[in-house]
Amino acid sequence: MEGPHSAIGSRPPEPQPLAWAGVRRVVVTLEPHELEALRPFWYPVLPLEQLGDGPVGLDLLGQRLVLWRTAAAGGDGAVAVAEDRCAHRSARLSGGRVTEAGCLVCPYHGWEFDADGGCRKVPQEPARPIPARFRIRAHRARVRYGYVWVCLAPEARHPIPVFAEAEDPAVRLIHGFFETWRCSPFRVIENGLDNYHHHFVHRGLLEATSPIPAPLRDGIEPTEDGFRFSLPLEVANNGTLSATLDDHSQRLTVERRVRWIAPLGLSLELGWPNGLRQRIVLFAVPQDGRDSRIVRFYFRNDREEQVPEANVTRFERGLIDQDRRILEGIVGAYGAAPVHENLIEADQPIALMRQRLRQLLDGTGAAVAGPSH
Ligand code: FES
Ligand SMILES: [Fe+2]
């Protein structure tokens, strides 16, 4: 099992055989036009602490990228991102190094590139002016919430989501999980919008005791970058859960405010009776059309003395592994809007997400925001 902040850039181990294994997964990758449609969005691609001093290579939407720190350490603009392919003879730049001035040095013949992708040095021809065409394709990178975010288009459709509590000194940020799951990223986000899998999947951890919720009718509101809805959930407070809450009541009702952040993000705000507020942020980032990079972090208005971070991550580890077993077991259908399924009325948020994504990926919708009526 991978722990928090697993190494990046390497292929994950083969998944453990599942109890019901024997089914061969049919992998359907994204079409080129779908990958293109997913480019103008911000994706969290790496915890900043994993960047270190050297360049890091990773995949995003089928593109091999290299990330490195520029000279201006700290704050936005501290990280550069470009295609991981040298303009000289195509060596992978992520195997190189970074100069003190923040330039990226190719490991093959030492050409140097700046944060904008321009070539600054050709050691073999020091006296010659460097032609403008000696450049690599740079993209935009930002640092927010302790992660490097990347957008592969000149303009993003929406800004990086703002979570106001990040500015609140009474709120702590827990970097929960950064790991690769062998499943569709769309399924991961659908699972976050699913209001009735708790009753079946999360037994032993999050014991839902409220009735299986009625379908949401008109309760889905548009937002700038997707939609949101609220739904309470009543749970039995077992020992593992209570260790994350500093509350030992037998039964609790948690207020849940769920927000889809198109195309592949989710925010889940939980309000507990004792005043604990926790926001779970989840992104499922497509790498190469086969896997999902899971980025999951938490804002909480309590303190380490009340609930140790280790209690939160232990509980969440168990919870997301329950989800993961289901999601990695789904055969085929990596894409955004599988056909040959039978959605019911209670799947309304998922149906709406699929509709919005289909419009986005086919280029038939002007926006991804707003509910359908
Ligand atoms: S391939 Fe990069 S310097 Fe030659
Ligand atoms: Fe779940």
Across the beta sheet with 147-151, the strand order is: 43-47, 147-151, 138-144, 79-83, 63-69, 56-60
Q: What is the pLDDT of residues 309-358, one digit of tens each?
A: 999 999 999 999 999 999 999 876 777 878 788 999 889 999 999 999 99
Query: What is the rounded distance in angstroms from the CA atom of residue 21 to the CA atom of residue 370?
Result: 39
Nearest by Cα to 287 from 152, 161, 162, 175:
152
pLDDT at 373: 35
* 319 and 251 Cβ atoms separated by less than 8 Å: no
Dist. CA 92 → ligand 1 center (Å): 9
Q: What is the pLDDT of residues 175-233, one digit of tens each?
A: 999 999 999 999 999 999 998 898 899 988 888 888 877 777 668 999 999 999 998 88
Burial of residue 162, with CB atoms counted within 10 A of its CB: 0-12 exposed, 13-18 middle, 19 or more buried: exposed
Query: At how many degrees (to 10) do helices 309-329 and 185-193 cross?
Result: 120
Q: Report the range of poorest mean pLDDT among 33-37, 160-164, 330-334.
A: 330-334
Q: What does the buried/exposed string (b/e) look like for 333-349 if buried means 16 or more CB atoms within 10 Å of the residue's CB?
A: bbbbbbeeeeeeebbbb
Dist. CA 120 → ligand 2 center (Å): 49
Which of 66, 92, 105, 108 should be mutated for ligand 1, with most atoms under 8 A from CB?
Answer: 108
- Integer-rounded Cα Rg, in Å, for the chain is 22
Nearest by Cα to 164 from 147, 183, 144:
144
- How far CA 101 is from CA of 77, 199, 218, 358, in Å, comes to 14, 55, 55, 44
Q: Across-strand partners of 68?
A: 80
pLDDT at 217: 65
Give me the phi and psi of 199, to 5 degrees please. -65, -20
User: Side chain identity at 80, as an amino acid letter?
Assistant: A
Dist. CA 206 → ligand 2 center (Å): 9
In what helix (H) or strand (E) does residue 271 lie, and over which residues does it extend? strand 265-271
Query: HSE of 339 in the Cβ direction (CA atoms, 13 Å)?
Result: 1
pLDDT at 28: 53
Q: Model pTM?
A: 0.89
User: For the structural domain made of 53-151, what CATH number should be given?
Assistant: 2.102.10.10
Dist. CA 93 → ligand 1 center (Å): 8
Local structure of 167: helix, strand or coil: helix
In what helix (H) or strand (E) does residue 309 lie, and over which residues does it extend? helix 309-329
Q: Which ligand has the minimum distance to the alpha carbon of residue 196?
A: 2
Percentages (nearest 5) of helix, strand, coil residues in the chain: 20, 30, 50
Give me the phi and psi of 221, to 5 degrees please. -105, 145
pLDDT at 9: 44
Q: What is the pLDDT of residues 66-77, one digit of tens each?
A: 999 996 544 445
- Ligand 1, atom 1: nearest CA belongs to which residue? 89
Mean pLDDT across the chain: 87
CATH architecture of 164-362: Alpha-Beta Complex (3.90)
Local structure of 267: helix, strand or coil: strand
Query: What is the rounded distance in angstroms from the CA atom of residue 325 to the CA atom of residue 260?
Result: 22
Atom of ligand 1 nearest to the CA of 109: 3
pLDDT at 218: 64
* 184 and 192 Cβ atoms separated by less than 8 Å: no
- Ligand 1, atom 3: nearest CA belongs to which residue? 109
For the chain, the structural domain boundaries read: 53-151, 164-362
Query: What is the rounded distance in angstroms from the CA atom of residue 370 to the CA atom of residue 228?
Result: 10
Nearest by Cα to 4 from 148, 147, 176:
176
Does the structure show a pLDDT above 60 at 4?
no
Q: What is the pLDDT of residues 295-311, one digit of tens each?
A: 999 999 999 999 999 99
